[in-house]
Amino acid sequence: MVTATAVAAVGAAGMGARLGIAVELPAFLGLVLFGIALAIADIRSRRLPDVMVAALTLSGLALLGVTAIIHHDVSSLLRAIFAAGVTSGALLVLALLWPSELGFGDVKFGGVLAFYLGWLGWPQVILGVATGFLVAAVVAVGLLLTGRRTLRDDLPLGPFLMLGAWITIVSRWPS
């Protein structure tokens, strides 16, 4: 529990440093908190609970919807929604092609993460999702080389998708 608290503190501090005092900060802090809870659930049970993904989705829609109204910026909201749909569709294709490697929870969670990344822009969507897969691949190879995992072992993707999104948002690149 102490580790989760520390990760949440670092995650929230990174978002705060990146966004500053901004109207969208509560949405992105919610992303950190729900994202960490979902990552922990995925590590423990190899599941991303629908109720948690739905709560993250609805809170993001509500908070970024209000932000869009305040800033008179419907285009960012529409881009975020479109990014979520495109990313979910791409992940769904991968899940159907390789069902033992990618679950439907990953598809839904990836889509929600793309929603938040899409609020920032298309480059962030691409970089965030790609970074998640890249970090997962590096960790998987490391676990294989050290003998801590075999090719038959599962590796939850949710934590890596969350980490890729967080790195992309906090790094401010591309901006």
Q: Does the structure show a pLDDT above 90 at 104? A: yes
With bands split at pLDDT 50, 70 and 90, how would you rate the model's confidence at 174?
A: low
pTM of the model: 0.92
Looking at per-residue confidence, does 13 or 113 come out higher? 113
* Predicted pLDDT at 154: 84
Tell me what pLDDT residue 76 has.
96
Between CA 77 and CA 65 the distance in angstroms is 7
Angle (CA) 30-111-17 rounded to 5° is: 35
Residue 3's pLDDT band (boundaries 50, 70, 90)? confident
Using a pLDDT cut of 70, give the percent of the chain over it. 97
Model confidence at 68, pLDDT cuts 50, 70, 90, reads very high
Provide the 8-state DSSP code for 22.
-
Lowest average pLDDT, out of 19-23, 65-69, 84-88, 133-137, goes to 19-23
Q: What is the mean pLDDT of residues 59-71?
A: 96
**The CA-based dihedral angle spanning residues 144, 148, 2, 157, taken in that order and rounded to the nearest 10 degrees:** 40
11 or 57, which is more confident: 57
Contact 64, 24 (CB under 8 A): yes
Binned at pLDDT 50, 70 and 90, residue 175 comes out as low
The 10s digit of each residue's pLDDT in 44-54 is: 999 999 999 99
Please give the average per-residue pLDDT across 52-80, as a whole number.
96
Contact call for residues 165 and 117 (beta carbons, < 8 A): yes
Give residue-wise pLDDT tens across range 21-40.
889 999 999 999 999 999 99
